[in-house]
Structure 1
């Protein structure tokens, strides 16, 4: 798991998340509810570019609703985390089954569910023969940029990875 956070895998709770918003639809973004600024849920399957657009939209919507601005570097970190989580779900998790983004204190919460029960792993950048590996950088990036990373097993199979990226 994330060495930086010493995060453990936890079983799915029975409580539903607050980021389950499914109505309305801004252009090129995720469905949303105007009363829930900063929250959205993509229809699945989705692509990493769609996840990034959803995060951009959610952060911009939250900033407009609260009259605040967000640090561009923090937003870029959140975009990278969303992209890495969705890419990993596509490449290693059997596809994306759910995607959610919620912008509240302390930052942007991105949740990506996939079909695989396998936990994310970090591999050494060099193989046993001394050759540099291609790929394998996404999970360490997520762990380094996010404040809180959780892997939750889903009752229906698969997992949900949630990462909170600070916006300050």
Structure 2
């Protein structure tokens, strides 16, 4: 696989990009950026792309961006790199709060609608790190194996 391959997000040409940072604004944008990075790497090395690994990496990117939007005050940065035999997804947001696993039911015993994103990230990634940012907020880095 690639020693290192990085792709920068390129918004589609359908209109103005409302982001205040040069990365994806929505989970769908993050999924496309991950697919593009992996596909370009496979093409460059003439190696087959494992569809399951691509799906896992896209799901991790989608969950991290969704969590940044819903719980982190919005995304402030996004990067995706293919490094060695994995894809590294980095999502920064404005919150200093570390993600936690929410119980599947609330105090009244009712099932929660959400709360599954962080466990999905932790299950699919081989390495997950949460780092404080000097200017405030955090960066979550997850490395998903590519087969």
Verify the 8 A CA contact 2:7 2:36 in the aligned structure 1.
no
Query: By how many angstroms is 1:126 displaced?
Result: 1.1
TM-score w.r.t. structure 1 length?
0.75
Alignment RMSD (CA, Å): 1.4
Verify the 8 A CA contact 1:39 1:102 in the aligned structure 2.
yes
Query: By how many angstroms is 1:47 displaced?
Result: 0.7
Residue of 93, 114, 117 corresponding to 1:135:
114
Aligned to 2:95: 116
What residue ranges of structure 1 are gaps of 5+ in the alignment? 1-35
Query: By how many angstroms is 1:148 displaced?
Result: 0.2
Aligned to 1:65: 44
Aligned to 2:75: 96
Aligned to 1:40: 8
What residue ranges of structure 2 are gaps of 5+ in the alignment? 11-21
Q: Distance in 1 between matches of 2:117 and 2:8?
A: 23
What per-residue deviation string (whole Å, max 9, x for no partner) do you get for residues 121-147 of structure 1? 101101122110110110000001000
Query: By how many angstroms is 1:40 displaced?
Result: 2.6
What per-residue deviation string (whole Å, max 9, x for no partner) do you get for residues 66-123 of structure 1? 1101211111000000000000000000111000000121301000000000110101
Paired residue secondary structure (1:61): helix
Comparing 128-137 and 155-164, the one that deviates more = 128-137
